[in-house]
Chains A and B, each alone.
Chain A
Amino acid sequence: MKQYCKTRRLLPGFRLTLGFTLFYLSVVVLIPMSAMILRGSGMGWGGFWKYVLDPRAIAAYKLSLVASMTAALLNVLFGTLLAWVLVRYTFPGRRLMDALVDVPFALPTAVAGLTLGNLYGPQGWIGQWLAPMGIAGVNSRFGVVIALMFVSLPFVVRTVQPVLETFEQEVEEAAATLGAGRWRTFFRVVLPTLLPSIITGFALAFARALGEFGSIQFVSGSIPFRTEIAPQILIQHLDEHETAGAIAVALFLLIISFLILGTINLIETWARRFQN
């Protein structure tokens, strides 16, 4: 306690920087958020539920949840594989592959949506192969999952990669001297150590997918009850000048994403129980 009072006085700028930070956060985040929450609660339960529990909205929440979950899980699989290959192996083109992982971060989602919509469309380079198999690449749930997977891929790779980089190979060697083969070493020793970062990566990817709108706008076709996702319901209210509806749905989405993140946080804490 004494120690920290000392450091507080030691370096200057405490009031200035904290003051500015709080002011900025208030203007940008807290005041608009309070405005929305108060407007939402001002409309009363009846008004709120009318918009939130609309069947079309419910179908959209369901798709958002399921598609985001699917995309995040697939990214856990491929993202962990990518991280492993990038950290552990040397091969020609490794650095290029590493750089390419950031493409979805850097590419604006509108561009991603536009190009994915074209690529998976009936005449697209990939879509033309899907069509004979009876898979619609765009204006379909398949397309939604592909787009969500694209925009959220880097999260898993970039959270697992640094942990794998600092992972001591000695630990794997220790398992080997005790008689463990490669597979057992991976599943018993390596994977449990990576698990917290995989969960974090999953959470980030899931949150990103849940909130994604830009790319979906291009690939989903916004078919009510089929390919419409939650943010599109909100846009639809705005387009019809139903601000109250947009606010109600927005508030609901806000609460849902906080609940999900809270849950994931708990899981993460559990997975990190072996750490400080």
Chain B
Amino acid sequence: MSIELRHISKRFGDITAVRNISFTVGEGELVGLLGPSGGGKTTVLRMIAGLETPTEGDLFVRGRRMNDVPVQTRNIGFVFQGYALFKTMTVFDNIAFGLRIQKQQPADIAARVEELAKTLGLEGLERRFPHQLSGGQRQRVAIARALAPKPNVLLLDEPFGAVDAKIRQELREWLVQLHDELNITTVFVTHDQEEAMEVSNRILIFSRGNLEQLGSPREVYEQPRNEFVARFIGVMNVLEMTVSGGIARLGGLSFPAHGHSEGQTLRIGFRPYAVQVSKSPNEYRHQAILKHTYFLGIMLRLELETPDGLVVRARMSKEDYARLKLEDGMSVSFQIREYRVLAREGEILTPEVSLSQPTVLGEGI
């Protein structure tokens, strides 16, 4: 096990930033900490680095308890969100900084810097100052600087936060590649679920200081443990319904709700891909007007409004849309194939219930 957290909590004064978190990261894994701002993920990262001290719990790196080891001797590579390059130093001096602290021979330093510059595509930029580099280059310098002393673990705080959308995509692929090449245990923080899904072997989802779920990208998408995860990963329709006579109802929509007491409020969630739409107003159970169609690339999102004024989001491929000859303002019918009763944040979800024949869709996020 490369990194292990056991019952770690962190409080700043009265506020608990991280609450009783335990997880392990295997050697060579690439793990993403995902969650909304203020969820505690950056604090976790900073605790692993030694920039914060846990209030409670134990932290191990390669089997050694790290709580009282100062940041300087932890041998951790940290890439800061704003890169935190030393702007008075050249690219070379930035990368060489950690090696000089270790009092390595100048020849060894030069060799190591050259090697990293090559790996990271920074050749020829060694004598430049940070302000003479592009955003992407600066980030690579920050990564090279963190990697130079051969750290046990590489930690990245919002690594793609500060670059524009176009380069971000490239950088993601590049990070995966770099990780494959170096095979270094890597933990990164992001608030972007798409980024976390694409890059990580495993995702840890944080909310308000709690670790909500941990699993592969597919697991957290297909089996979200609770409403928070379900909403945070991908899009979900959420309806708050009241149970009467074993059926949860909201307007014309109803779901079987056996085992729930009369008058109870339930939250029902279903993914847009689980909504099946037909041009014929009577083919499916529910009637609606197609209010608006959003083009999202190869997929389209349809916004349906029921006669009671509920808005339901559906998803459809371009081909299906063209085949059905749908247009905004049309009367349509729809059915919901799969749904789940949502547990509150911090609670466990019930498994998904299929209404009709479950169809496995190979849809991405």
Tell whether B273 is near chain A: CB-to-CB under 8 Å. Answer: no
A179–B81 Cα distance when bound, in Å, is 19
Contacts of B87 in A (CB 8 A): 171, 193, 274-275
- Do residues B88 and A178 form an inter-chain contact, with CB atoms below 8 A? no
Pick the most buried of B75, B101, B130: most chain A CB atoms within 10 A of its CB: B101
- Do residues A274 and B98 form an inter-chain contact, with CB atoms below 8 A? no
Question: Given contacts A274-B129, A275-B131, A276-B131, is CB(A175)–CB(B86) below 8 Å?
Answer: yes
Contacts of B75 in A (CB 8 A): 179
- Do residues B97 and A178 form an inter-chain contact, with CB atoms below 8 A? yes
Pick the most buried of A179, A189, A273: most chain B CB atoms within 10 A of its CB: A179
- Do residues A171 and B84 form an inter-chain contact, with CB atoms below 8 A? yes
- Do residues A184 and B101 form an inter-chain contact, with CB atoms below 8 A? yes
Contact with A along B206-241 (1 / 0, CB 8 A): 000000000000000000000000000000000000
Contact with B along A183-201 (1 / 0, CB 8 A): 0100011001101000000
Contacts of B82 in A (CB 8 A): 168, 170
Contacts of B290 in A (CB 8 A): none
The smallest C-beta distance from A187 to any residue of chain B, in angstroms, reads 12
Tell whether B357 is near chain A: CB-to-CB under 8 Å. Answer: no
Partner of B78, one of A174, A188, A192, A193: A174
- Do residues B149 and A179 form an inter-chain contact, with CB atoms below 8 A? yes
The smallest C-beta distance from B224 to any residue of chain A, in angstroms, reads 33
- Do residues B146 and A177 form an inter-chain contact, with CB atoms below 8 A? yes
The smallest C-beta distance from A70 to any residue of chain B, in angstroms, reads 28
A121–B88 Cα distance when bound, in Å, is 46
Question: Given contacts A170-B84, A193-B87, is CB(A178)–CB(B149) below 8 Å?
Answer: yes
Tell whether B140 is near chain A: CB-to-CB under 8 Å. Answer: no
Tell whether A173 is near chain B: CB-to-CB under 8 Å. Answer: yes
Question: Given contacts A178-B149, A274-B129, is CB(A173)–CB(B84) below 8 Å?
Answer: yes
Taking A173-B78, A178-B97, A276-B131 as known contacts, 8 extra A-B pairs with beta carbons closer than 8 A to each other, sorted by chain A number, are: A168-B84, A170-B81, A173-B84, A177-B50, A178-B98, A179-B102, A179-B149, A275-B87
Identify the A interface with B (CB < 8 A). 168, 170-171, 173-181, 184, 188-189, 192-193, 195, 273-276
A-B contact pairs, 28 of them (CB 8 A): A168-B84, A170-B80, A171-B84, A171-B86, A173-B84, A174-B78, A174-B80, A174-B145, A176-B51, A176-B72, A177-B51, A177-B74, A177-B78, A178-B98, A178-B145, A178-B146, A178-B148, A179-B72, A179-B101, A179-B102, A180-B101, A184-B101, A188-B97, A195-B88, A273-B129, A274-B87, A274-B89, A275-B87
